Structure 1
Amino acid sequence: MPTVKEILNIAAYAGNIILSNGAETYRAEETISLICKAYGMKSVDSFVTPTGIFISIDNGKNTSKTIVKRVTNRTHNLTKISKINNFSRQLQTELLDYQTAIKKLNQINYREDEYNLTLSTLLGSLGAATFVILVEANYINLIPAFLVSLSSQITIKKIGFLRRINFIPEIIAGLIAGFVSSLLYHFKIGDTLNVMVISGILPFVPGVSITNSIRDAINGDLISATSRGVEAILIAISLAIGVAISLGVFVQ
């Protein structure tokens, strides 16, 4: 049986993984609570924001521990969220020792993507290009929309350290989408400029952040709802800035 400190470490690690991969605040708190109670903790209090996790547990024997975890990197990986959900629920029927639990969490956290970079980029671009169908634009825009989305995604995946700077990738994505769309439109490859531009930035639109913001607001987590909402708005503004700059320069 893990010690109270080890139980706290397991719960904090799981909460960190699920939160940094796009989970809602309530889901992270629920996961932490499930793990701690599976190990017999009598009292579990957690406070989760998009940038930090605060947990305090008590085993009912005058032994309590508290931990604070800073969440710095945030992305979206629904597979990892699903696996952490399964991990927390499996503990209800089969408890793991500390080393085994940490090993499983490491496997989830550092797992390789099921799809390679090339395939995921191509499929993402293809999905973005179908925006042409949704708005009932001319089908000749499908190929240019695909090329615009592919260009912006490849650029963002290859910009190195700039990817770690907030909102810079979105500005660059907007620039590339606007530039490539303008270039194709100039050479008559596609006849609807706005559809091509939107297809190029569509993979970067913060849909998950907006959804999580609404879910957090409904659940009463107003701090998380506000911060996620502001983040989503800033991402959208960054995309718009990039597009505006490129179209302002290349479209007369």
Structure 2
Amino acid sequence: MSTAVSFQESEADASQERPALSRTALRDVLATALRAGQLMLENGANTARIEETVHRMGTALGAEWMDVYVTPQGIIASAVSHHEHRTRIQRVIKSGVDLSRVAAVMDLSRRAEHGELTAEEALQQLEQIARQPRLYGVWATMLAVALACGGFAVLFGGGIGEFGVVLLAAGCAQLLRHSLLHNNLDRLMTTAVVAACASALALTIAERLPLLVPIAIKPATVITASVLLLVPGVLMVSSTADMVRGDITSGVARATAALLSVMSIGAGIWATLLVSRATVTLETVVQPNLLVALVMALLAAGGFGVLFDVPYRALPFAALTGMLAYGVRWLIAYGGAPIEVAFFFAGLTIGAMAELLARRLRTTSSLFAIPGYIPLVPGAIAFRAVLRFVEADYTAGLADAVRAVLLIIAIAVGLGTVSALTRMRQKLLF
């Protein structure tokens, strides 16, 4: 991407306003700015947001200019003060999703820009952010995820029976995932194991429950909904933001990571179906009425907002974003438009809502875009593709897989359109 303001011009202008920093002071500024970027990268922020925050943090603390380059596994930054410069590489191994930490770092950066912090004070507060616990505890997160996946069961055409089965299966799966990640099991392995266990539990209950009570359970619906807690929504949204910005390297890397996660989910379901030898019948999905769909979409987006640790004040708006986006998709599809068009306009809705809310609440749009994206995940089509592969019907399976990818791309194009239009009004740093 071209730089809106040249490095030389910025350096010349800044040198007239800022006192020169010693090498030690410049080193401390660089270390503080990099620590901010590290926390954001570890907790799910996209590349553009990290580069901007590191740059603004460094210049707010006294550097004339900060050049920043971010990859999914590290940050390279150079700090300049008059004729002194320091360069450092920060390797980032840890990865997760905690949007409350991302929001806290961005708020700290704004305070630094207002002159409220020294480099030492900023670093101390960054370490406090790094140590802060999640806003939502293990049990609250488990309940929220279970309710969110139960909402998906209804969106996929299920009823109260499917909702209850998924509530139990997804809740147990979330506790298992928390335990495995806490013990540092590889993320892809964790995803496959949890998908296998969640789908196995959902399938078992779906087969046994009708023997105890007169209720019919759709196995395909409960299996699909019970594994959606594993959907890599953060990677999908971040990869879109990176590629729209022109950062193809980071965008492709994140998209590849998302694809591997989806393949791990598919492998877990595949293993369950192969071992159980269960006969799962694919049924036509009957969409719930609009009011029920909106409530379930609100539940799904809000539940994943808790999973992603969205701050309290932003959580209701994140859930509202998901509900409105799903409502747009429902109405356009109900009007007879191609489903890809409906998903595109749903993506536009997410992007527009996220940008408006971010400006209103003075925070990052990711708090709203990522949970808002979740209710649109084409889980039923993706599960149908997995089932076709299990049945060795590779042609039909590939067709369903391609269709699911096209729907995801349609959402991404909608999100990317809003992002591109927003960037037209901004002065680019890099």
Q: TM-score range by the shorter chain?
A: over 0.9
Runs of 4+ in 1 over 6 A off after TM superposition: none
The 2-side partners of 1:198 and 1:66 are apart by: 48
The alignment's TM-score, normalised by the length of structure 1, stands at 0.95
Structure-1 residue corresponding to 2:224: 198
Structure-1 residue corresponding to 2:242: 216
2:137 is equivalent to residue 111 of structure 1? no
2:50 is equivalent to residue 28 of structure 1? yes
The 1-side partners of 2:35 and 2:147 are apart by: 35
The 1-side partners of 2:61 and 2:199 are apart by: 53
Q: Measure how far apart 1:159 and its partner are.
A: 2.6
Structure-2 residue corresponding to 1:166: 187
What SS does the aligned partner of 1:172 have? Answer: helix
The 2-side partners of 1:42 and 1:155 are apart by: 48
Match for 1:205: what amino acid?
V
Compared with structure 1, are the counterparts of its residues 168 and 27 closer, same or farther at alpha carbon in structure 2 (3 Å cutoff)?
same
2:41 is equivalent to residue 15 of structure 1? no
Match for 2:91: what amino acid?
R
Structure-2 residue corresponding to 1:68: 89
The 1-side partners of 2:113 and 2:181 are apart by: 42
Q: Measure how far apart 1:94 and its partner are.
A: 2.0
Q: Measure how far apart 1:143 and its partner are.
A: 0.6
Structure-2 residue corresponding to 1:37: 59
Match for 1:32: what amino acid?
V
What SS does the aligned partner of 2:86 have? Answer: strand
Query: In angstroms, what is the RMSD of aligned CA positions?
Result: 1.6
Q: Measure how far apart 1:95 and its partner are.
A: 4.2
Structure-2 residue corresponding to 1:184: 205
Match for 1:13: what amino acid?
R
The 2-side partners of 1:95 and 1:67 are apart by: 25
Question: How many pairs were matched up?
Answer: 251
Match for 1:12: what amino acid?
L
The 2-side partners of 1:90 and 1:83 are apart by: 11
Could you report, residue by residue, the CA deviation over 1:90-134 in whole angstroms, capped at 9, with x for unpaired residues? 111124233321110011111012222111111111111111221
Superposition map of 1:73-88 within 5 A: 73-88=94-109
Q: Measure how far apart 1:161 and its partner are.
A: 6.3
The alignment's TM-score, normalised by the length of structure 2, stands at 0.56
Question: Residues 72 and 253 of structure 2 are in contact (CA less than 8 Å); yes or no, is this contact kept in structure 1?
Answer: yes
Gaps of 5+ in 2: 1-20, 211-215, 279-430
The 2-side partners of 1:10 and 1:164 are apart by: 30
If asked which structure has higher relative contact order (CA below 8 Å, sep 6+), I would say 1
The 2-side partners of 1:5 and 1:128 are apart by: 47
Name the larger-Rg structure: 2
Match for 1:31: what amino acid?
T
Q: Percent identity?
A: 23
Could you report, residue by residue, the CA deviation over 1:3-50 in whole angstroms, capped at 9, with x for unpaired residues? 000000000000000111000000000001101111232221110011
Gaps of 5+ in 1: none
Compared with structure 1, are the counterparts of its residues 218 and 160 closer, same or farther at alpha carbon in structure 2 (3 Å cutoff)?
closer
Structure-1 residue corresponding to 2:251: 225
Question: Residues 73 and 91 of structure 2 are in contact (CA less than 8 Å); yes or no, is this contact kept in structure 1?
Answer: yes
Question: Residues 182 and 251 of structure 1 are in contact (CA less than 8 Å); yes or no, is this contact kept in structure 2?
Answer: no
Moved more, 113-122 or 8-17: 113-122
Q: Measure how far apart 1:54 and its partner are.
A: 0.1
Q: Measure how far apart 1:160 and its partner are.
A: 5.7
